[in-house]
Amino acid sequence: MESADSPPTNWPALSQTDYGVLRVLLSQHGRIISRDTIQRMAGLDSVSARRVDASIVVLRRILGTRAVITVRRRGWMLADDAVAATTELLARHVDTAK
């Protein structure tokens, strides 16, 4: 597995759901975000709330286990050392979507 401070050389493709969750985590960097807030901000109202949990698992596999911090009973937050890798991953996702 990759650590948050050494991004993979070949970024995997993100699903639209994973992309939305990652975008929310980055936009709220430094804040703890609840599952409901992530779901609402990412436009995932039509899917199960547990889909956010599954996206967190995917993002940790890509960015490293320490990239997304769990704050028990409150939600998640993006780790400081994962911001650069997250920005790069989002930029590559936009480039491949074109």
CATH of the domain at 56: 1.10.10.10
Q: What's this model's pTM, rounded to 2 decimal places?
A: 0.83
Please, which pLDDT band fits residue 2 given cuts at 50, 70 and 90? very low
Number of compact structural domains in the chain: 1
Segment 23-77, tens digit of pLDDT: 999 999 999 999 999 999 999 988 888 999 999 999 999 999 999 999 999 999 9
Q: What is the pLDDT of residue 6?
A: 53
Does residue 68 contact residue 77 with C-beta atoms inside 8 Å? Answer: yes
Determine, yes or no, domain membership for 5.
Answer: no
Strands (E), the chain: 68-71, 75-78
User: How many residues appear in the chain?
Assistant: 98
Within a domain: 6: no
